[in-house]
Structure 1
Amino acid sequence: MLTLNWNIIWTFVDLIVLYVLMKKFLFARVQKVLDQRQEMIQGQMDYAKEQEALANQNLQQAQETVENATKEAREKAQRILEAASKKEKEQLQASEEEAKRILISSRKQAEQERKKLLADTQDEMVTIAMLAARKAVGNNINEEKEKALFEDLLKKVGEA
């Protein structure tokens, strides 16, 4: 037959009482600690998200700064290259003008030397022609008339 053992009943009653006491005193505190821990973790997660957003914003600002600096450096390099090119052209033009000036000066100097040499040659030819004419004709002709005649002759020969 089935008998009910009082020990089993008291064990169940003890367990129920123990459960109620634990629920009232222990589970509420444990749940409170768990809730605080959950709030702390959520706060840290929110803080980490804020820090990540701030880091992304700082990274974006840094990238913009680098892009601006790169752009400014390129513009500055371009201005320097343009200035150097302009200066090079100016120096080249000045060199060409100097070369032209030297060439013109050299031509003038050569022309002057040619004229001087031609005049010297004409004088010598007049003198030689006068000496030859004196010997051929004798010493009767006036020296100034001789010179004038030979210069006239040389001019006519030079024109032809």
Structure 2
Amino acid sequence: MGNLLEALGVNFKMVFIQAVGFLILLVLMKKFLFGRIKEIIKSRADEIKDTYKKSEDDRAEAARLKEEYQQKAVKADEAAEAKIQAAVDKAKDVGGKMLEEAHQAVADEKAKAHKNIDMERKKALAEVRNQVVDLTILSTSRLIKQSTKRETAEKLVDDVIKGVGALS
């Protein structure tokens, strides 16, 4: 195998010197360069984690605020419904009272009208009674003035009946 490597032009001394140089370069890079690169990568990873955590916290806060808003909206809707229902109930009460007052006013007017009708009827009856009395007195005075013939009595009764008929 050694001949084969020599035939290919591989020089062991050169390979060894290059390997040692590479190891020295690797040690120097590890000591001065890789540490800083690791720190930069670590700080960047921490920064990304912090950003991701902040994003998750913001997302959780947004979800909490959304839930809170929805609860407030539901409470506002319930409060609005309660106010509307209270207004409807109050309107019903007011309407019922107004209707009751109207019925009472109508009943009062009816009673007043009946009272007036009764008074007018009593006045009319009193007037009829007075006229009947007047007619009776008139017919009696005529009877006394005239002779008491049957024809005259019948005529007087007819006159009284006609007088009463004219009154009604």
User: Which category of TM-score, normalised to the shorter sequence, fits these structures?
Assistant: 0.7 to 0.9
Match of 2:104 among 77, 97, 100: 97
- Max Rg structure: 2
Which aligned pairs between 1:116-131 and structure 2 lie closer than 5 A? 116-131=123-138
Q: Distance in 2 between matches of 1:34 and 1:61?
A: 40
Superposed displacement of residue 8, structure 1: 4.3
User: After superposition, what is the alpha-carbon deviation per residue over 1:77-109, rounded to whole angstroms, capped at 9, x for unaligned?
Assistant: 222222222222222112111111110110010
Partner of 2:57: 50
Partner of 2:113: 106
Which aligned pairs between 1:8-157 and structure 2 lie closer than 5 A? 8-138=15-145
Q: Distance in 1 between matches of 2:19 and 2:68?
A: 69
Match of 1:21, as an amino acid? L
Match of 1:119, as an amino acid? A
Which segments of 5 or more consecutive residues in structure 1 lack a partner in the other structure?
140-160
User: After superposition, what is the alpha-carbon deviation per residue over 1:7-58, rounded to whole angstroms, capped at 9, x for unaligned?
Assistant: 4444444333333322222222111100000011111111222222222222
Q: Distance in 2 between matches of 1:88 and 1:119?
A: 46
Q: Distance in 2 between matches of 1:33 and 1:52?
A: 28
Q: Distance in 2 between matches of 1:7 and 1:72?
A: 91
Q: How high is the sequence identity, in percent, across the aligned residues?
A: 24
Superposed displacement of residue 63, structure 1: 2.2
Structure 2 SS opposite 1:39: helix
- C-alpha RMSD of matched pairs (Å): 2.4
TM-score (norm 2): 0.70
Q: Distance in 2 between matches of 1:64 and 1:119?
A: 81
Which segments of 5 or more consecutive residues in structure 2 lack a partner in the other structure?
147-168
TM-score (norm 1): 0.73
Count of residues in correspondence between the two structures: 140
Superposed displacement of residue 118, structure 1: 1.8
User: After superposition, what is the alpha-carbon deviation per residue over 1:121-153, rounded to whole angstroms, capped at 9, x for unaligned?
Assistant: 2222332343344334317xxxxxxxxxxxxxx
Superposed displacement of residue 111, structure 1: 0.9
